[in-house]
Chain A
Amino acid sequence: MIRRMKFLRNYLDKIKPNFEKGGKLEKLHSVFTGFESFLFVPAHTTRSGAHIRDAADMKRTMIVVVLALVPALLFGMYNAGYQHFLATGALAGAGFWQLFLYGFLKVLPMIVVSYAVGLSIEFAVAQIKGHEINEGFLVSGLLIPMIMPVEAPLWMIGLSTAFAVIIGKEIFGGTGMNIWNPALLARAFFFFSYPSMISGDAVWIAGKPDAFSGATPLAEAAVGNPLPDTATLFWGLIPGSIGETSTFCILLGALLLLATGIASWKIMLSVFAGGYLTALLIGSLLPADNVYAHVDALQHLLIGGFAFGAVFMATDPVTSAQTGKGKFIYGLLVGVMAIVIRTLNPGYPEGMMLAILLMNTFAPLIDWFVVQGNINRRLKRIKATS
C-alpha cells in the first residue's frame, strides 16, 4: 500500500521546493500542503510525549461526518426531482433516475459553489496566517447547501458561505475556535438578508408552476392546515430544505455518528427529548386558537429542520457544550427553544436554526457552571479536611 503510490510521492517531492519559501509558487504553499496531506498522511513521528498515537485524526473524523450526511443528501436530490415533477404534474411519466438526475443537477451546483467559495477563503487565510488547512469545512461546505431551499440563487449561497467562513470562523481563529456553527450562520445570514428567498411557498420546489401550492408542512402547520400523515413526514417526500425532509435518512446518518462515537448521544437524545416534552407541554397549555401549538408532539420532531438540526448541527463539538453534564443541558434547551420559537412567534414557522445559534451562544456559559461545580467540589474537600 505504502509503496504502490511511490510515483505520486516522488512527483510531490519533486515539485515541493517550488512551494517552499523562496520558491516560485510560494503563494500557493497552503494549497500544496493541503493537498499533499490529503493524499499522503505525513511521515511525521512523535517528538514529545506519548510515542504512539491513535490512528484517528481530524480528516478521518470529518470524512465520517460527510459519510453520515450522504443518505440525506442523496434523498434530498431525489426529492428535489420528485417535488418538481409532482408540481408540474409529470410525475406519472417520470422514472426514478429521471427524478434523481433532475435533483442532482439542481443540487450539485450549490455544493460546488459552497465548497469553492469556502475552501478558497480557507486556503487564502491559511496562506496569510501560515496555518495548515483545517478539515472542518469539508463538513460545513456540504451542510450549507443541504439546509438551503432548492431554488436559492447560487450567488446568494456563495455570499452566505463567505460571510459564515469569514465572520463566523476565520476572525475567531479558524476551525475549533468559532462560537457559532458556520453552516447555520450561513443560513441565518441568508435568512435575514433575503427573507423572501428562504420562506414562503415559492422557493422549496424547483421550477414550480405558480398555481401549485409549494408550502412546506411546517408552513401548513403554522396556519392550521392539515399535515401529511406521520409516515409521509418520516420518509420525507415533502417540500423543504434539501437535506432536512427525510427523517429516516437523517436517522441513518445519526446511527453512523453514534456508532462511531463522533457525535454526542447526550446532545442528540436531549434535543429530541427537549423538543418532544416542550411540544407536549405547549400543546396542553396554550389555548386552542394557537393551532401550531396543537400539532402532535411527534410530528413536531419530523417536520422542518428539527431532526436535521438535532443530528448534524446541535452536535457540532466545537460550538456545543463540551462538558458531560453541559451537553444534556445544552441539548435539552435547544429542543425546548426550537419548539418555543416555532409556536410562540407569529412571523416564521421554523425555530431550529435560531434555537441552535442561541444555544451556541450560551454553551460556554453552561460549561462555566459545570466547571464551577467541579471547582467547588475541590474547595469543599479542603474545607472538609481542615
Chain B
Amino acid sequence: MSKVITLKKGLDIHLNGVAEKRAGDAEKAVFYAVKPVDFRLIPKLSVKAGDAVKAGDVLFTDKANPAIRFTSPVSGTVESVNRGERRKMLEVVVKASPEIEYVDFGRADVNTLSREELTERMLESGVWPLLIQRPYGIIADPGVTPKAVFVSAFDSSPLAPDFDFILKGEEKALQAGIDCLKKLCGKEVNLGVKAGTAADSVFLKLKNTVVTRFKGPHPAGNTGVQINHLNPINKGEFVWTINIQDLVILGRLFTEGRYDARKTIALTGSEVSAPAYYHTLSGAQISSLTEGKLKNRVHQRIISGNVLTGQKVPADNFLGFYANQITVIPEGDYSEFLGWAMPGFGKFSATKLFPSFLCPKKSYSLDANYHGEARAFVVSGQYDKVFPMDILPVYLLKAALAGDIDKMEQLGIYEVLPEDMALCEFVCTSKTPVQQILGDGIDLMIKETN
C-alpha cells in the first residue's frame, strides 16, 4: 500500500459548470499559436510569415539557451508573428493545412536510448519545454540532473479536469513518458494520486513510479505541495515536474516518433451551456472550442486555465502551452449597493462572514468582481488556513515586496510558485495581489542569482 498524506489546510471552491464526463472533437481550428509569453524567456524567432512548417518544426528558440526549441503543433504556413507593446513577441501563429504532416523523429524504445539521446530528441522536437524546473517554475535546464521528478496525477483546483477520465487509453504513451523521466533523473518518478483513486486507474498501473496518495482540499493536487511534503527543495537543489497530460505528449515522441500535441481540454464554468471535454491540439484558437458553446450573454470572461491561476484571454486568442482547461465565468463588472452590508446569499466566502459557510457543499456561479478594494495587510492568519506548507506566507510575501533576496531564500522562495499561493490571494480580505508579488519576487531571484 502506498503512503497516504492527509492535508488539513486548503479550500475547495465548488463552482457551477463542472465538465460532464463525455469527450467530443472540437471544431478543427484554422489557426494555432505558440505563445512566448507562456514562458519566462526572451524568444528568438526562427521563421517568418509565409514559411511552410510541419508539426515539429521550430518556430522560435530561447535566446539565452538556443537548444531549447519551440515547435509548431500543426503543419501549415506561418500566418503572422503578433507583437505587443515595445515589440514584445506575443504569439507565433500558424495557419493549419487540412491534414497534419509531422516531422519524423523516429520511434524508439526509451530504454535503449541513452540520457543524452533522450535529451537530444526532446529538445529537437520541442517537447522539452513541457518539463518544468523548480525552483522558480522555469523550463528545465538540460544541463541539470534533478534530485527528483514529481508528477501529480490530479488537479484539485476549481472545475479541474479529471485526468483519470482524459487519459484512459493513453497507457502506452504515459508509460513511455515515465520511463523517459526515470532515465533523465536516474530515479523512480514520484506520482501523486488522489486518495480514493480506483484500483483500475491508469495511474496505478504505471511502472517505475513511487505512488503517494494525497487526501484533502485544494491545493493537495499541486506538485508544489506534494514536493513540500515528500522531498522539499533546498538551496541548490532542482526538481522537475510535468503536467500529467503533457507527459503523454512526451511519451508519444517515442511511441509515435513525432511531436503529437493532441490534448483533451475541459471546457468548464457557469457560462458554458454544456460543460464537457473536447479533443484538440495544443495552441488551438480558443474560439474553436468555445464558439456556440457559451450561454448567450455579454460580459463573459474566458480564462485559459482555471479560475485561480489561468490567463484572461479573448476568444480569438490561443490555448496556453500548459493549459488543460478553459473556464468561462461572468465578468461581474457591476457595482452593488451596500454589497458589504447585505446578507449576501449566493456569494461565497471562506470566512464565516457570509452565509455560505452554512452549506459547504453548495456550488456557486462566481464572477470576477473584486468584492471590495485593495487595502494594507490587516487580518492575520488568513493565508495560513489555505496554505498547507511549513512556510510563513505573509513573511515570504513581505520579503518579496521588499526585494530582499536573502530573506526570500530563508523563508522558502525555492519551494513555491504563484499557483501554490493562489488560494491566499482568493481569501485575502485586503485583496492583495499575492501571485503578482510572488511572481515578481521569483523574477528578482532569477535576475539576482544568475
Contacts and interface: CB of A to CB of B under 8 A. Distances in A.
Interface of A: 1-2, 4-5, 8-9, 37, 39-61, 63-64, 132, 134-136, 173-177, 259-262, 264, 317-318, 320, 322-324, 327, 370-371, 374-375, 377-379, 381-382, 385
Contacts of B158: 52
Nearest to B370: A44
Nearest to A376: B410
Query: For the complex, would chain A's binding face be called helix, strand, loop or mixed by DSSP majority?
Result: loop
Contact of A64 (B353, B370, B371, B423): B353
Contacts of B379: 61, 262, 317
B411 A49 contact: no
Contacts of B348: 54-55
Contacts of B329: 51-52
Nearest to B340: A59
A377 B392 CA distance: 12
Interface of B: 13, 15, 158, 232, 234-235, 301, 303, 307-310, 312, 327, 329, 331-342, 344, 347-354, 356, 366-373, 375-381, 384, 390-392, 394-395, 410-412, 418, 422-423, 425-431, 433-436
A119 B180 CA distance: 65
Interface centre among B158, B335, B366, B423 (most CB of A within 10 A): B335
A58 B351 CA distance: 12
A41 B340 contact: yes
A42 B335 contact: yes
Nearest to B347: A55
Contacts of B356: 55
19 contacts: A40-B338, A41-B339, A45-B367, A49-B434, A51-B303, A52-B308, A52-B329, A52-B426, A53-B431, A54-B350, A54-B371, A56-B354, A57-B372, A61-B378, A64-B353, A177-B376, A262-B379, A322-B380, A378-B411
Contacts of B341: 59-60, 63
B369 A318 contact: no
A63 B341 CA distance: 8
A57 B391 contact: no
A286 to B, nearest CB: 36
Contacts of A44: 333, 369-370, 373
B96 to A, nearest CB: 30
A320 B379 CA distance: 10
Contacts, number: 220
A53 B370 contact: yes
Contacts of A39: 337-338
Given A40-B337, A56-B372, A175-B376, 7 more contacts: A43-B334, A49-B422, A50-B426, A53-B371, A56-B427, A61-B429, A377-B390
B426 A320 contact: no
A317 B333 contact: no
Contacts of B310: 51
4 cross-chain pairs, A with B, having the tightest CB-CB distances, nearest first: A57-B372, A176-B376, A41-B339, A55-B347
A379 B307 CA distance: 35
Contacts of B301: 45, 51
Query: For the complex, would chain B's binding face be called helix, strand, loop or mixed by DSSP majority?
Result: loop
A58 B235 contact: no
A43 B369 contact: yes
A359 to B, nearest CB: 15
Contacts of A40: 335-339
Nearest to A381: B234
A318 B378 contact: yes
Interface centre among A1, A50, A375 (most CB of B within 10 A): A50
Contact of B307 (A52, A64, A320): A52
B433 A260 contact: no
A42 B307 contact: no
Contact of A55 (B337, B344, B411, B412): B344
B222 to A, nearest CB: 14
Contacts of A8: 337
Nearest to A378: B412
A54 B312 contact: no
A134 B372 CA distance: 12
B426 A260 contact: no
B335 A9 contact: yes
A51 B444 CA distance: 24
A59 B381 contact: no
A49 B375 CA distance: 16
B377 A176 contact: yes
A362 B189 CA distance: 47
A225 B155 CA distance: 67
A41 B335 contact: yes
Given A4-B337, A45-B333, A59-B372, A50 B429 contact: no
B336 A41 contact: yes
Contacts of A134: 375-376
Nearest to A256: B352
A202 B261 CA distance: 84
A318 B368 CA distance: 28
A382 to B, nearest CB: 5
Contact of B381 (A61, A174, A264): A264
